Amino acid sequence: MKNLIFYIHLNTVKILLLGNEAIAYGALAGGVAVATAYPGTPSTEILETLEEFRDRFVHWAVNEKTALEIAYGATVAGARALVAMKHVGLNVAADPLHSAAYTGVEGGLVVVSADDPWMHSSQNEQDTRWYGLQAYVPVLEPSDPAEAYRYAKTAFELSEKLKHPIILRSVTRVSHVRAPVEVEPPSPPKWGRFSKDISRFNLVPAYARERRKALVEKWGTIGEVSAELMRVEPGGHVTIVTSGVAYNYVKEAVRLLNIDATIIKLGMSVPIPPKIRELVKGTVVVVEEGDSVVETQLRALRLETRGKIDGYFPKYGELNTRKVAEGIAKALDIPYNLPQPPKSPIEAPPRPPVLCPGCPHMGTFYILRLATAGLNPVWSGDIGCYSLGINTGQQDLITHMGSSVGLGMGVAVASKQFVVATVGDSTFYHSVLPQLIDLATKKVPLLVVVMDNAYTAMTGGQPSPSRLIPPEKIAEAFGIPAFVIDPADIKTSIEVVKRAVEIVKSGRPVLVVSKRPCVLVATRKARKAGVAIPKYKVEPEKCIGCGICYNLLKCSAIQARPDRKAYIDPVLCVGCGICAEVCPVDAIKGNGARVKWLEVWQQA
């Protein structure tokens, strides 16, 4: 265990863990044998932690649906399996999730979905708990890393006992907070063996109807089990029902408001236990992170509530202690005046997200701009680092994974405009392959650009299938012309893309693959290997202040001086040399062997 050990007691150790790491260690204690995921913040560290344990099957799948299907298959064969994803990934995996509830499982199946309230790194807010209600899958909701550990372990036991999948719902403030957690040694992985049961595992209509009846009946039993994970902290006549991370805010708010309240904490927020009716007298205040999922269930039990439905708490964004205290005060009609935090006399400068210095996508966008000059293209983008092409005005549409080609096809068909669809290699395999078939069969004129940096870079550098199964080979198999460029070779690449543009203008789709590994991975490996990385600098007497390097190329290592001449920060420069290629007056010079560095980089 690479984390800091605080103390050892009998067979346990207390270590400092991220919430996601705690979930992984809980799964290990629960005997997980198969673990799959598709990377997505704030869930990624779960599988990254499990990768260190070689006695289990741990796999980064091509997308969330595939990840869940592998785990689901393992559990119908009696193994214990975990699948992890972020909230929007559960949309992709929704089909097998619903089926798993119908068939049930033999081993334990734990589906971890990490929600991202207020969209710190996501395209929308979404509350995973609705899937629990819709799919008849119970949802456990931990409030901190220690509870995340316990619930992960408990989820396997419950799942196997009930023969039913379990969702473990985390949120950013649980997944990405660090706290001491008491951890048991990993249990041996529990494998299994598939036993045939035709009427259970074949969801053809005749069998599925019977499974539906059984599922609804089982849901009542699960509601009773939910009571075992409910905790009541006795207090005064005021009753507050809460779950997950909101529990922490409630505890602080009650102290600030100086009220005596009975707090009912739900460990399983879907379904809530019918027994809760016996504990509530009068109106109950409901505090939950996300949508009004608990409150809706309480109202279905005919309890009077004050929560998000009637506006006592905000219906978007994250909760915090202030919001919860204000909401409770409003719900109870008591005065409340929390002092405003002091304002800093100096505002921090804005830090908009930018591509890393030397990012190959920077060169790709520059190449595309010049190769499509005069066409005024529609830029159809996708989820990933390359979404930062919005800073160069080269992203007009970004909505979800796979939106680049899907929406791009729709725009091209409807408007006859020239459309460039930009997508990363990981997203290409995740979502675009089915669309590529439609593109080939209908021959929609679309310039598809795969920005292949060999990694799922935005989430920390997980492996991509592109090295073993290159995108250009797939396109060629579909009958789509394919070109490969190197974004560090600006002039040659512009000419290649211009040829691709002409094919699109003639009415056919084309795929361009821009290949160069993620610069963060490359520089990290180079430094470990002792490879010298060149540095570039501007010769001020030659620079004419045209701004191409910092306004058009938009390298984040280059800034404009007060006189508009360029300045390269030597700390940030990674020696890509693209700025020297685009400089019209040869004012940028390097001090190392660029060709050798580019060769090392390409192998990263």
Question: Collapsing DSSP states into helix, strand and coil, what is residue 310?
Answer: coil
Contact 19, 180 (CB under 8 A): no
Question: Collapsing DSSP states into helix, strand and coil, what is residue 423?
Answer: strand
Question: Collapsing DSSP states into helix, strand and coil, what is residue 513?
Answer: strand
For 273-336, strand residue ranges (E) read: 284-287, 305-306
Annotated ligand binding at 518? The verdict is no
Six-digit token pair at 148? 């995340």
Residues, the chain, total?
A: 604
- The residue whose two tokens read 């550098």 is 461
Question: Collapsing DSSP states into helix, strand and coil, what is residue 299?
Answer: helix
Six-digit token pair at 262? 């009975």
Phi-psi region of 348 (alpha: psi -120 to 50; beta: other; left: phi over 0): beta
Name 171's Cβ contacts closer than 8 Å, sequence gap at least 6: 42, 114, 115, 116, 117, 244, 245, 289, 290
Burial (CB count <10 Å: 0-12, 13-18, 19+), residue 234: exposed
Annotated ligand binding at 359? The verdict is no
Annotated ligand binding at 356? The verdict is no
- Neighbouring CB atoms inside 10 A of 383's CB total 25
**Rounded distance between C-alpha atoms, residue 458 and residue 361, angstroms:** 12
Number of H helices, E strands in the chain: 22, 26
Contact 495, 433 (CB under 8 A): no
**Rounded distance between C-alpha atoms, residue 228 and residue 98, angstroms:** 25
- Identify the DSSP state of 293: H
Question: Collapsing DSSP states into helix, strand and coil, what is residue 139?
Answer: strand
- Neighbouring CB atoms inside 10 A of 99's CB total 18
Q: Across the beta sheet with 178-183, what order do the strands follow?
A: 5-9, 12-18, 178-183
Q: Which amino acid is at 112?
A: V
**Rounded distance between C-alpha atoms, residue 600 and residue 604, angstroms:** 7
- Nearest-5° Cα angle at 69, 66 to 70: 90
- Identify the DSSP state of 454: S
Annotated ligand binding at 385? The verdict is no
Contact 308, 265 (CB under 8 A): no
How many CA atoms are closer than 13 Å to the CA of 58, on its beta-carbon side? Answer: 20
Contact 92, 64 (CB under 8 A): yes
How distant, in Å, are the alpha carbons of 34, 52, 209, 214 from that of 102? 21, 33, 9, 8
Binding residue positions: 543, 546, 549, 555, 573, 576, 579, 583
Binding residue positions for [4Fe-4S] cluster: 543, 546, 549, 555, 573, 576, 579, 583
